[in-house]
Structure 1
Amino acid sequence: MSHQRRLGTAIRAARCAQRMTQAQLGRACGYSASAISRIESGLLRPADQPLAVIVQVLGLQLDALGLDQPANLSRDVTLDQEDAMLRRQLLVAGMAAAGTSMLPSAAATAADRPDASTRIVGALYGQTDSAPVSLQELGRALALARDQFTAARYENLGAALPGLLGTAQATRESLSGRAREEAHAYVARAWVLATELAVKGHEDVAWPAAERALAAAQSSGNPVVQGEAARVLAITMRRAGRPAAAVDLLRRTADSLCRDPDATSQAVAATLLMTAAYTAACGRRRSDALGLMGGAEDAVSRLASAGTRAPSQLFTVDATSAQADLYWVGVHTALGTPDEGVPYAARIAPGRLPTAERRARYGTDCARMWHHLGDHHRTFAALRFTEQVAPEEVRRPALRALTTDLLYAPASVSGVREFAARTGVS
């Protein structure tokens, strides 16, 4: 990664950890929000004086990250009162968490834990004293972390990630040859989980986490892991307003995997096509979205008709007909044709979806579909279902926004006010 891109990544991660918007950071250093966006994407190099202010506001130690401190950085850099209030230490909580074991202590409470964004930033840039372990032990720890994600226990996953990432990277650095390639795959999958967690919280730090995942995946030489990492990177690209580039990445990666006769490669390719379809739908590219979903369904059908059963569970998303139906619901809602998603939702048996996280996704997508159709009662029923199967899911920003809409809808729905209070909306 170029120096300019690394600088932008560090700035983005630090800003997100401090809960600052691009506009707030821009006001502090004399740039527009769009200019800050270009700096964070590595497309614009800030001049020394504005860079000095950025470093001061964010408390960044660029030299500790292998980057050059601005020559004119001084304790005399002045900030207005509002921006001075935004200054916080970037890595205090994250580095504290990074020194813990691979899994969280049962004694730790939610109030004691830093938020997910801070934890991930700490894992990205904090210095840890993690010790290497055997590949078998690392694999078991990664499996436990994945179980936390699929069970929708995001608080526990966030607490586990810094230690897991530190240990995975220390283990990789201690190995060579084929064992090192295997460790690269473990590191990549740990960063995939970090990205998934950040995406659920709508955290911008998802982007640098996804970049770490893809870099490690490419070093592993494992095409399946590369596909998993490409998927989460594409999701962050879509969230950053680059759906066309995200679709292109997903297409190319899926095409590469489709040439591999291995069932797992074929299954991952199908999940990439589903993600590409939803991404195209978010960009209102109806023809592309429908074509990609058709391709995904064909891939799932080929696996079934050939009698070749893909693994019952891929890393985070499965390649099944039920999963395809779930994506059809999201695609039609994103395209503005939610009525066309209703038949797909009706034929899904949510209890047969493989994980709590996927069942919660069913509830979320149905809630969005009914909300777009103006059916407040069914929207609320879908939200209640999501709460039942995955209580932490309904505290995500997207679902809190849906709850807010119901709370202030012209026609009241019984129970919404109590639900809003339980989920932190009111």
Structure 2
Amino acid sequence: MSVHAMTAPPSLDLGALMRSRRAARKPKMTQEALATALGYSKSWVCRVEGGQIVPQIETLLHIAAVLDIPPDDLITAAHPLGRDPVQDPQTLGSGVTTAATVTAGDHAKEDAVRRRGFLTGAAGLGAVMVTGSPATATARPPADPAAALEEGLFRPPAVGPVPLGQLDRALHRARMDFRHARYQALGTELPLLLAAADTTRDHLTGHAREQACTLAAYAYSLAGELASKMHSEAVWVAADRALAAGRASGQPAPIGEAARMLSVAMRRAGRHHQAADLLVHTDRQLADDSTEQALAVRAAMLLTCGYTVAHYGDRTAALNMVDEAESIGQRLRYGPGLEQVTIQATREQCASFRLSVFNKLGTPDEAVPVVRRANPNRFPTAERRARFHTDAARMWHQIGNDTRTFAALRAVEHEAPEEARRPSVKALTADLLYSSTNLPGLREFAARTGVHS
């Protein structure tokens, strides 16, 4: 353990602790150097050390990372027992809590360096915490979410271990970004989350390590979902790591979710029979687990498997698997306890998979009643609603109804604009654009979603 990582004297307040750690560094770190490392101004650091500003949790964790202070020590120094800091109305949402008045001009200057907020809302695990890099924390999301994810998978950022509770909340926030189809933000955030999950489990043993492996498995499965959305070959890497972490966790649910993700990678590579075999084998492994989580994962695997076998024309098996998944889903009450499962076997979700199966079987006419009966508002997330409208667009496109195809594509954009920029959706838009049909607004839609005429 380095001298800088030793427990801080409990008598030090926040400013004194920061000053002492700056002085202890070799060479001594100035306020200006600390400000540069944090992405703030020197005057801001002066106010923090002078007791005028008490930063919020994510900023404190950034300071802890830069000065090599145990986070708990710094947080305790900032919020000693009996102190109830009051947040100045001018700084609500800006990342600081003030013990004195901060001018609007000061707020405007400081706000520019705190705009990125991935895991800010996850109560402590932020980009600034795990990297100590203000550039990572403040950078705008890249145009290509897959590029950032691939960079993170193959060249992960250097991070430190974090408490499991914070890791769990960070994963929840990332999952919410996926469900709201915020893929650019997610592509930026996931590398930090994945690196933190890996480092955390490597520093733990026993039951705590198994918990960390579970979180890592779900995080890598989520990375696989994003890679699949973007048609990135990184889906193989993410799915493989998810399965390895799931097996290390000893828990059936993360294993099942990871296996489902790996089957998606296999299916995209044209290995349809192998993908189906993997899902069937994993389903048998979960058959003796009657927990709701295991049942929910089994239902998700059945839906994925049904769509997979439709790729090689097994209509009966495909529809039977969707029916079985719906039967399981009727016995479950989907809620916070089952949020780890990406695909939920609700009535609407199962209808959406029937639509996908009919499309893949080349019988879109059979899917028309499914679309007409479905209520998109009952889908649980923007991502799932957009997926339904995408499959509806494919159905109408196969039938040859360009007007309804375009209406479905516009519904995709309405629900989740970033879904409309996915490669498969852009390909569908391009097909429509280059057809003989002259649909009002189509060229503008194509331009907005990145399809060029």
TM-score (norm 1): 0.72
The reply to whether residue 327 of structure 1 matches residue 353 of structure 2 is yes
Q: Which amino acid aligns with 1:296?
A: A
Aligned to 1:278: 307
* Cα separation, 1, equivalents of 2:133 and 2:374: 36
Aligned to 1:299: 328
Report which stretch shifted further, 382-391 or 310-319: 310-319
* Cα separation, 2, equivalents of 1:344 and 1:104: 48
The reply to whether residue 186 of structure 1 matches residue 215 of structure 2 is yes
- The CA deviation at 1:98 is 12
Change (3 A) 1:417 1:125: closer
- The CA deviation at 1:190 is 1.1
Whether contact under 8 Å (1:104, 1:156) holds in the other structure is no
- Structure 2 portions without partners, runs of 5+: 1-126
Aligned to 2:339: 314
- The CA deviation at 1:392 is 0.4
Q: Number of residue pairs matched? A: 324
The reply to whether residue 218 of structure 1 matches residue 218 of structure 2 is no
Aligned to 2:167: 138
* Cα separation, 2, equivalents of 1:205 and 1:261: 33
* Cα separation, 2, equivalents of 1:354 and 1:378: 24
* Cα separation, 2, equivalents of 1:128 and 1:403: 36
Q: Which amino acid aligns with 1:372?
A: Q
Q: Which amino acid aligns with 2:441?
A: G
- Using CA pairs under 8 Å that are at least 6 residues apart, name the structure with larger relative contact order, 1 or 2: 1
* Cα separation, 2, equivalents of 1:294 and 1:103: 50
- The CA deviation at 1:424 is 0.9
- Structure 1 portions without partners, runs of 5+: 1-95
Aligned to 1:340: 366
Aligned to 2:139: 108
Aligned to 1:350: 376
Aligned to 2:104: none
- The CA deviation at 1:177 is 0.3
* Cα separation, 1, equivalents of 2:373 and 2:132: 43
CA RMSD of aligned residues (A): 2.2
Structure with higher Rg: it is 2
Q: Which amino acid aligns with 2:205?
A: S
* Cα separation, 2, equivalents of 1:216 and 1:320: 28
The reply to whether residue 260 of structure 1 matches residue 260 of structure 2 is no
Change (3 A) 1:401 1:185: same
Whether contact under 8 Å (1:120, 1:209) holds in the other structure is no
- The CA deviation at 1:336 is 0.3
Q: How does 1:165-180 map to 2 (within 5 A)?
A: 165-180=194-209
- Deviating 4+ runs (over 6 angstroms): 96-99, 101-106
- The CA deviation at 1:253 is 1.6
Q: Which amino acid aligns with 2:421?
A: R
Whether contact under 8 Å (2:143, 2:184) holds in the other structure is no
Q: How does 1:52-131 map to 2 (within 5 A)?
A: 100=131, 107-110=138-141, 113=142, 115-126=144-155, 128-131=157-160
* Cα separation, 2, equivalents of 1:285 and 1:384: 32
Query: Which of 361, 376, 388 matches 2:414?
Result: 388
Whether contact under 8 Å (1:406, 1:413) holds in the other structure is no
How big is each residue's C-alpha offset from its partner over 1:203-245, in whole Å with a ceiling of 9 and x where there is no partner?
Answer: 1111111100111011101111111111111000000110101
Report which stretch shifted further, 289-298 or 343-352: 289-298
* Cα separation, 2, equivalents of 1:155 and 1:117: 9
2:139 match: secondary structure: coil
2:195 match: secondary structure: helix
Q: Which amino acid aligns with 2:171?
A: L
1:129 match: secondary structure: coil
The reply to whether residue 417 of structure 1 matches residue 443 of structure 2 is yes
* Cα separation, 1, equivalents of 2:429 and 2:129: 34
1:331 match: secondary structure: helix
Whether contact under 8 Å (1:103, 1:163) holds in the other structure is no
